[in-house]
Every structure is written in C-alpha cells, then in structure tokens.
Structure 1
C-alpha cells in the first residue's frame, strides 16, 4: 500500500511538472493584474446575487477562488499592498512601509513614489514627479520583462499614482489620473519624455468630462437591501451636500470638491480607469508583441468611496455593482482582442476596511475613536517627566514612534531602555492593545498572530523604534463624522480576494489560508519565469490546470 501511495505521488509530480512545462512553452499572450482598492473579501458574497454573469461571477465560476486570502503584515494600506502583491514579499523586505512615512535619514515625511529627480509628463503640475525608486525589490512585471529580454510590454494604469507606479515596477510604464481642473492621464520622465499619441488622443476626448454627471443608484434604491439606509451618521457627505444621500449632483458639487477630483470618489472613477485600460490595450497593441505582455490595472475609486461613505453604505454597494460591469467590459474586450483562453487574469485587493466605529457602538460592539494629538501629548509629557526632556521623541506617525538618537547619545541615555520605558507606558493607555519595540522585532522570529504581522511590516532600516497596535474597532477621530479607514492587523483589513482566471487555471476554490505574497510566485510559476528577486510567498499549485 505504501509503495502504491508513493507511485501516486510521483505520478502526480510528473503530471504536474508536465503541465507546468506545457504552460511555460505556450504562455498567455497577456497577463492582466487587477487590484481593487479597499475590497473586503465579503463584497464578493454580499453582492453576489446582484452581480451579472460576466464580471466577478465569471472570474469565480470559471476560475479559482482562494477564499481565505489575507495580508500577512501591517500596515494594510495602498502602497504596501500594491508593492507586496507584485514583489511577492512584505514591507520588511521591499521597503514600502506605508503610503508615506518618516524618513530617518532626511528627518522628513516622504511619499512612497515621489521623486523630484523626474518631471511631469502631460501636466504642468508636479503630479508626475514620481518613480519606483523607494522600492527595494523587483516585481513580477520586472521578472517577466527580464525573462523575455524586454520584448514584452508592461503598462500600469490607476487613478492613484502609487497604484500604477509600484505594479509597473522598474521596467514598465505607468499612467495615472490628475484631476483638479485638468482631468488628464499623466506620467513621469522616468518612463518617457512625451505622452504617446494614443494617450494624447484619450486626453483630448471627452472621456473624463463625460463623467461630470449626477450619480444616482444603478437600480431602484429599494433594492439595496444589503446596505444601511441611505441616510445614516456613518457616512460623510460631499462638501456642499446637506446629507450623504442619493442623488449626488456632481455638476453642482464640482468646484467645491476639487472639480475633476470628485470623479475619483464615485464609481465613475473606476469606469474612467476601465476606459483608459481599454485604450491602452488597443494603443499599445498588448498581446501582440510575440512575448507575454502585462496590463496592471488598479481600480482606486472603491477606496475613495469607502473612505467617504463606509463599508455598508448604499454608495459602496452601487460602486461595486458598477465595477462589476466595468470588469465585464474589460473581460469581453480581452476575449475579442486576445482570445478566450489566451490570457491570464488575477484579481485581488490592496487592503480591506473597517466598519465605522459609530456603527459598531450603535450595535453594542467594542469600538472607539483615536485622538492622535492626545496620544502624542501624553507621550511627550511622559518623556519630559522621565528624562527631563521630550526631545528624545523625534516623531510619531503611522502607529510608530521614532526616537532621536542624537539627543539620546548627547544625554548619555540608553536607547533600548527608553524603548522599554515607552512601551510599558503605552500599555497603560486604554486604546493600546499591543506594543513591540525594535529590539523585540530584531531579536525574535514571530510565526503567528499579530506579532508576526508587525514583524513582516517592520523594516530594520526604515521603521520606528516602537510599533503599537490599537484595539480592534477603533478609527482615527477624523472618521467620527462618517466614513472608514484601514491599516490594522485585524481580519476586516487583512481578508481580501485572490481570484485566478484564464490560461492554465482550473475551476475551483480552497479555504486553505493563503497570503498576499503568494500571488507573485503563483503567477510566475504559471508563466514559467523566475520569481521576483525578493519573493517569500508560496506557489499555490492547487489552482493549476492538470
């Protein structure tokens, strides 16, 4: 019996290896990576009956669904999320430790993709002064281009610059949307000196201007039974609105909400992104290079809508119902241009989102709001009393505290002891759940729980001296008037979709836990290419077609 089992295992190995070899010899013409900004996994289930057959449901019904997919680090935010999806590793390795962070070398806050060494292309503003130079590992898209001797193309598209720049990696080309009074897709001299003709044509069209319209529900408002009533104190109205209720008259709200910027916080931002992605598909002749091309699309407007209206708003439901149609539009175009079975798609998210703390409180669930200024003042007062100066604390942001080592050295104090003192002090604060010092994270190898997520998000060169975790259900006080945020180690922020669809993928699902860094190695193995150079994730071969 034992020999028979070994035979079966070996047979399975050779069959699987043969399937991988066939896939490598006949790779897809195009890979499309879709990241939906702020998409909780539950949105697949919550709105399932309302989706059409050609969008989310097609990806699930014809592809492979990893139902228990999580982020394995904090902070769960846009830039670390996109970087982790495409590098196959965590902030501890790739170095994108937030959307922005305090830079210990310059002593200033830095933005994840800002780079004054490059100029804007397509706008006179500074919106194009961007590059991936803060990324410390290469990406799936880089690995693909290197493997193909740079014969294939990589195009990154998103409303947010970071949602386009990080997926495009070092070797691709990225475009993002600049709103204000321009409403144009722009880029950086890191990628090009001038926009290609197809982008210029798109910008000259009325594509962006066509979404300056009233946003009403896609279907009868009474059918939105998966959401809260339209008028609750868990949502924030646009500037100029008395209440966050349908319809939202964008033309009337235009000037007060940043003109074209208001489109970002509506489902029309996703539709505009799909429009531009389809233009890129045609304008760049993707899928026709003779090598595998890559189109990285990030739908950013789901995040803006979520921040504005929250997890259970009718606006959020309407945004996903409309996104479903945009994804269907994209898949139909891929069928027509590339051919069914000739392309590969993955869909995931960069983070989830929390319920508004007032919503939790009203339903007798633990919650609260974080007063950042109060936290800072208490810590400064503690340091002043303990060390006769609060200058030992250099900076406080993104759930991290940075010490000023020059001040500590000048006072002949012990930095490790100060970290311990501050950790013990913070544990007495009601809103704090857990504390980790840099010494703890450098000395230990945490395998499970929140400690593991903190460690995976901790970069020894870039992160703070003390990392702290708030109690679950808490949001920044800025959301006391409605909306939501993210960034924590809790399930509402970590549990997101991972769907695989197309060439080489079988239909099915699993509830075995997977993590975000698994995506890049899994896609790399399907393509038969080397993994990104810092990948720490695992190949999820259960999705492969035998």
Structure 2
C-alpha cells in the first residue's frame, strides 16, 4: 500500500513538472535581425565589445556557430521573410526585394501595396503591407493560437524589415520615413491612425536630434580590425570629398536625403532602440499572460555596409555602437519585462562581400559583372539564332524572364529557347553556373549551389533562366559592398538564443535559417507557420 502511495505522488509530481514546462512561456519574444551582419563580425570585433551586449548573449545564451541561409538570393526581403516564416522563397514567395512580375509586366516591390493608405504621412512610403508574402509567421501562429489576445509589433527603419517579420495578423508595423519629415509611420493595413504614443514620439524631436556629428566612438587608432579610414574602396556621402571620420550630418543632409541620412549612420540603430523601447511601453508588451512578439530589425548596419564596405572603419564603429545599443536594450528588458520573463534571438538577413576592388588589390580573384552588356549580347545572340527581337522580357536578380506571348506568336519552342539562353550565358566570362526553369521544376536538388537555387526558386514568380557568378564577382558599383550570392560570405550569419527557456552553450553543427521559426514555435507550444520547412533546434532548450 505504501509503495502505491509513493508511486501515486511521484506521478502527480511528474505530471505537474510536465504541465509547468508546457505552459510556462515567456511574456515577450523579441526577434532581432541585424541587417547585413556576417558571422565573423562577432569574432572580429569581440575584443572591442563590452560585457553586456553581444558578449552577454554569447556567454549566457546558446550560439549556433555554423548557421547559414539555404537559398539564393540572399537579400533583405527574402531574409526577413524566411527567418519568421520558417521556410524559403520557394514557398513564402518573397523572391527578392524587388522582382519582375510577369503577370503585371512590371517590377514590383516586396511590400508595396497600392490598395492601402499611408498612416502618419501623405507620402507613398506608407503604401505598404505584407500582402505579397504567401505564408504565415510564428507571430501569426501565436495570435491564432490565443484567439488574437496577444500582440505582435514590427519595428525597423526599413519598411520591409518591419512588415515581413511581423506577418499578416500583426497589430502594427512601424518604419522610419526620413526625407523632410523624420517620422515613424505605418499603413492602413494595420490601423486608421497612429497611436498616441507614436505621435508623441514623432513630436518629441528625438529622430531629428540624430542629425549631428558622427565621429568614431573610440580613438580611431584602436580600430585595428578594419582597413585604413582613407582608401579608394568607399563611397561616402555627397558633399564630402573623403569618406573619412568625422561626418557632419547636419551639413551633409541636404544632398543626402535630408533626415534619411540618419539611416546610413550608426545613429539609425540608436533611433531604432529608442522607438522599440517606446513601443514596448506604449503597447504594454509582456504585461499579461499571453506571450507578445516584438520583431526588431537594425537596418543601419546594411546601409553603412553598402556605402563603406565590410572592411571599413565605419562598419567597425557601427558594430561597436550597436553593441552598446544591445546592452542598453537588454537592461531595459530586464527592468521592464523581467530578467527571466522574455526570450530573445538575434540573427541576420544575410552577410556581405568584401569590396571586390579591394580583394583584387590583394591578388584575390574578384571583380564586377556588367549585366547591361550581357543583356545586349544575349539579345543579339537570340535575334541571330531565332530571327526574332525581344525574346527577353526582363533581366533582374540574376534571372532572365522570357516573353511567353511572343514565343507563342512566333511558334517557337520554349524549352529550346531556355537551353539556348542557358548555353549562351554559361559561355560569358565570370558566369559560374546556369539553371533553367525546366531543371528547377523537374529536378530535385538537396545540396550545393543547385539546392540553394531551387530553394529560392518560386515556380510562379521566378524567371526562366538563372545565372550565378564566380565567387567574389558582383553586379554593383566599384565602391562599397553588397550581397545576394550563395557563397559563405553571404550565407553565414550569427544565430544567438537568449533568455527564458534557453540554456547556455554552443554548437558548430550546421543549421539553417528556416529552423528559427519552428524553434520559437516549439518554445511557445504553438503550431508552426503554415509553410515551415525547418526543424526545431531543440539543443538550445533548457
């Protein structure tokens, strides 16, 4: 009898433990995306970081050291969508920041939506929504799970960095409209007017206060993890002859987009943190029994990287300042949500290539591909081969779109033209691989560049021939950095989990970006986003 009683109480205790683990959720989940952050920025700038920013997340959280994007192209729109939907462009449909829509016969922007109205401005910068994204996010699933009782808020300087992560059911997404306004705005997809707390923030003059002098945070001589400040590989700002510190933003603003210049400096991240803290307070996030979601994207790192290149003093300064931003934000979360009451992850939407002109100066094969000349040569070839002008309707994002109606009118064979285009492009200098629509639709590629290409290929939206360039060759001006390829400098990004339900540790096991959304969904005990292709990273859980 005594043994039965012991077993009975043991089973009750186990049941209670299981119930507690299932229902004990964080009050707030914060998904942080650092735009254009290579994994090696963590290690490269490590000695310069303080103890309470990146180091805190690494030392007290779980670090995935070998985290990659598993598709091409590695751009901002697809990256943000993939992180929060748990799948790739093949399923969520965001195949680029912009792409050629063959049904509308025009280029479209990933979050543009002419059916909605701007809120907080009269400018068309407010005509945005997630309508082009086909799948749900974990934020959507969380709200569906609790009958819309929780909140999801998206914040970023870039519209696409705020909108795509927040998803379709978000209470709000806010992005920064610089120009001559310096306001955080939204669209009628979410609301009819800005909440009072947003209006108060916009009236506060906080944004305008960052139109000031940008100098290095520390003595520039201590920035030993980047190249010379004065070099020939950076663009800089119009109105300043040299791309060197300091930058008088008030003086330069007039020729560089007025208040938009703030986005292209480290101060854009300060402004983002300011607004994120206001959002947490203004929306009472993390204050009840339903887990809220805040998606937070730091866009300035991308603007700075494009302008100055990954080896610049400006990039190093931006990351040292971002480290302080993170420390400030973590401290704010501890105080306002509770140290053990929130879960945070940090990743990036893509990496970035070192400036090819710089690599070339170091005798590393690198360079630039002239897509305008390539298109001219292709059109000449097709005219001679098929005695027809205009078979190519568009070339964008390394994809060639053919004119279906013209092909049918001329009674030409579509697959023959595909093969001819592919053969011609493969013979072009610095084109490394070429894939046709037929290969993408009929093949099954699980590894290598072909697998990455197929994961990024959306049957309805993508082009008919895809061409990929040699490593370190890009379609871009000769100064500054870019991204978009399937090479490690673009695919390898940090992935850090921290906070409630997360243990300290690390792994060098390969993981992929679509694993993030099912990991958070598992933590919350909710359904995975409806097109998820990733797997939960259970090793990060306590």
Question: Which TM-score tier does this pair reach, normalised by the shorter chain?
Answer: over 0.9
Please, what TM-score do these two structures have when normalized by structure 2? 0.96
Counterpart for residue 100 of structure 1: 98
Summarize the Cα distance change of 1:89–1:500 in structure 2 as closer, same or farther, 3 Å threshold: same
- How far is the alpha carbon of 1:503 from its aligned partner? 0.5
- Root-mean-square deviation (CA, aligned residues, Å) is 1.3
TM-superposed CA distance for 1:79, in Å, is 0.3
CA distance change for structure 1 residues 354 and 391 in 2, over 3 Å: closer, same or farther?
same
Aligned to 1:508: 505
CA distance in 2, matches of 1:23, 1:37: 34
Residue 257 of structure 2 corresponds to which residue in structure 1?
258
SS in 1 for 2:328: helix
2:37 aligns with 39
Quote the residue 2:495 is aligned against: 498
The equivalent of 2:5 in structure 1 is: none
Q: Determine the C-alpha separation between the residues in 2 that align with 1:443 and 1:516.
A: 25
Cα deviation, residue 372, structure 1:
1.6
Q: 2:80 aligns with which of 69, 79, 82?
A: 82
In the alignment, structure 1 residue 375 sits paired with structure 2 residue 374 = yes
Structure 2: gaps spanning 5 or more residues: 1-12
- Paired residue for 2:531? 534
Alpha-carbon shift at residue 20 of structure 1 (Å)? 7.5
Judge conservation of contact 1:432–1:469 (CA < 8 Å) in 2. Answer: yes
C-alpha separation between the residues in 2 aligned to 1:24 and 1:205? Answer: 43
Residue 346 of structure 2 contacts residue 496 of structure 2 at CA under 8 Å; is this kept in 1? yes
Distance 2:23 2:460 in 1: 41
In the TM superposition, what whole-angstrom CA distance separates every residue of 1:212-252 from its partner, at most 9, and x where no partner exists? Answer: 11100000010000000101111112001101000011111
Would you say 1:144 and 2:142 are equivalent positions?
A: yes
CA distance in 1, matches of 2:289, 2:323: 31
2:476/2:482 contact within 8 Å kept: no
**Contact 1:165/1:174 (CA < 8 Å) preserved in 2?**
yes
Give the corresponding residue for 2:8: none
- Give the SS at the match of 1:512: strand
Does the 8 A contact of 1:100 with 1:109 survive in 2? yes
Map 1:46-445; keep pairs closer than 5 Å: 46-172=44-170, 173-445=172-444
Gap change, CA 1:188 and 1:420, over 3 Å in 2 = same
1:20/1:526 contact within 8 Å kept: no
Please state whether the residue corresponding to 2:302 is helix, strand or coil.
helix
Counterpart CA distance in 2 for 1:270 and 1:95 is 29
Asked whether the 8 Å contact 2:161–2:297 carries over to 1, the reply is: yes
Cα distance, 1:527 vs structure 2: 1.1
Q: Say how many residue pairs are matched.
A: 529
| Alpha-carbon shift at residue 475 of structure 1 (Å) | 2.0
Tell me the SS of whatever aligns to 1:436: strand
Counterpart for residue 5 of structure 1? none
Q: Does the CA-based 8 Å contact 1:71-1:516 persist in structure 2? A: yes
Question: CA 1:18–1:140 in 2, change beyond 3 Å: closer, same or farther?
Answer: farther
**Is the partner of 1:68 in helix, strand or coil?**
strand
Distance 2:16 2:71 in 1: 35
Does the aligned pair in 2 maintain the 1:23–1:526 contact within 8 Å? Answer: no
Partners of 2:156 and 2:299 within 8 A in 1:
yes
Cα distance in 2 for partners of 1:266, 1:392 equals 43
Query: How far is the alpha carbon of 1:19 from its aligned partner?
Result: 7.8
Aligned to 1:448: 447
Between the aligned partners of 2:215 and 2:373, the Cα distance in structure 1 is: 40
- Tell me the SS of whatever aligns to 2:330: helix
Report the Cα distance in structure 1 between the residues aligned to 2:337 and 2:481, rounded to whole angstroms. Answer: 39
Alpha-carbon deviation of 1:73?
0.2
Question: SS of the residue aligned with 2:126?
Answer: coil
Please say if residues 309 and 481 of structure 2, whose CA atoms lie closer than 8 Å, have aligned partners that are also in contact.
yes
Query: For the Cα contact (< 8 Å) 1:431–1:471, is it kept in 2?
Result: yes
Q: 1:316 to 1:21 in 2, by over 3 A?
A: farther
CA drift at 1:17: 11
Counterpart-to-counterpart distance in 2, 1:243 and 1:372: 29
Equivalent position to 1:483, from 448, 472, 480: 480
Spell out, residue by residue over 1:67-118, the C-alpha distance to the aligned partner (whole angstroms, 9 max, x if none).
0000000110000000000000000000000001000110000000000100
Question: The residue matched to 1:131 in structure 2 has which SS?
Answer: coil
| Deviation per residue, 1:239-281 (Å, 9 max, x gap) | 0110100001111101010110100000100110000000001
**What residue is the counterpart of 2:9 in the other structure?**
none
CA distance in 1, matches of 2:422, 2:475: 21
Q: Does 1:525 align with 2:522?
A: yes
Q: Is the 8 A contact 2:26 2:341 kept in 1?
A: yes
Name the CA shift for 1:341/1:426 in 2 (closer, same or farther; >3 Å).
same
With 93-102 and 233-242 compared, the bigger mean Cα shift is at: 233-242
Normalising by the residue count of structure 1, what TM-score does the alignment of the two structures yield?
0.96
